[in-house]
Amino acid sequence: MYAPLRGIRGRLRPLLIALVAAALSLCGLSLAAPRAEAASLTEVTNFGSNPGNLRMYQYVPSSAGANAPVLVAVHYCTGTGPGFFSGTEFASLADRYGFIVVYPDANVSGQCFDVSSAAALKHDGGSDPTSIANMVRYVIQHNGADASRVYVTGASSGAMTTNVLLGDYPDLFKAGSAFMGVPFACFATTDGSGWNSACSNGQISKTPQAWGDLARGAYPGYTGARPRMQLWHGTTDTTLHYNNFGEEIKQWTNVLGVSQTPAYTDQPQANWTRTRYGATGAQAPVEAISLQGVGHSLPTAGMAAQAIAFFGLDGTDGGGDDGGPTEPPAGGPCKVVYTTNSWNSGLTAAITVTNTGSTAVNGWLLAFTLPAGQTISSGWNAIYSPSSGSVTARNTPNNATIAPGQSASIGFLANHTGNTASPASFTLNGATCTTG
| Per-residue pLDDT band at 27 (split at 50, 70, 90) | very low
Res 332: pLDDT: 57
pLDDT greater than 80 at residue 70: yes
Catalytic residue among 116, 117, 131, 156: 156
Res 25: pLDDT: 36
How many Å apart are CA 304 and CA 100, to the nearest integer? 15
Report the amino acid identity of residue 434: T
Res 78: pLDDT: 95
pTM of the model: 0.67
**Tens digits of per-residue pLDDT, 98-156?**
999 999 999 888 999 999 999 999 999 999 999 999 999 999 999 999 999 999 999 99
How many Å apart are CA 114 and CA 130, to the nearest integer? 11
How many Å apart are CA 175 and CA 166, to the nearest integer? 8
**Tens digits of per-residue pLDDT, 410-435?**
999 899 999 999 999 998 887 889 99
pLDDT greater than 90 at residue 34: no
- Asked whether 283 and 229 are in contact (CB, 8 A), the reply is no
- The stretch 262-267 carries a mean pLDDT of 92
- The stretch 38-56 carries a mean pLDDT of 93
pLDDT greater than 60 at residue 311: yes
| Per-residue pLDDT band at 335 (split at 50, 70, 90) | very high
How many Å apart are CA 338 and CA 336, to the nearest integer? 6
More confident residue, 28 or 212: 212
Over pLDDT 90: what percentage of the chain? 69
Res 319: pLDDT: 38
Res 197: pLDDT: 95
Does 156 qualify as catalytic in the annotation? yes
Res 433: pLDDT: 92
Res 160: pLDDT: 98
Res 193: pLDDT: 84
More confident residue, 217 or 7: 217
At residue 5, φ and ψ (nearest 5 deg) are: -75, 130
How many Å apart are CA 255 and CA 124, to the nearest integer? 20
Over pLDDT 70: what percentage of the chain? 87
Whether the CA torsion 342, 345, 350, 353 is positive or negative: it is: positive
**Tens digits of per-residue pLDDT, 361-397?**
888 889 899 999 999 988 888 888 888 888 889 888 7
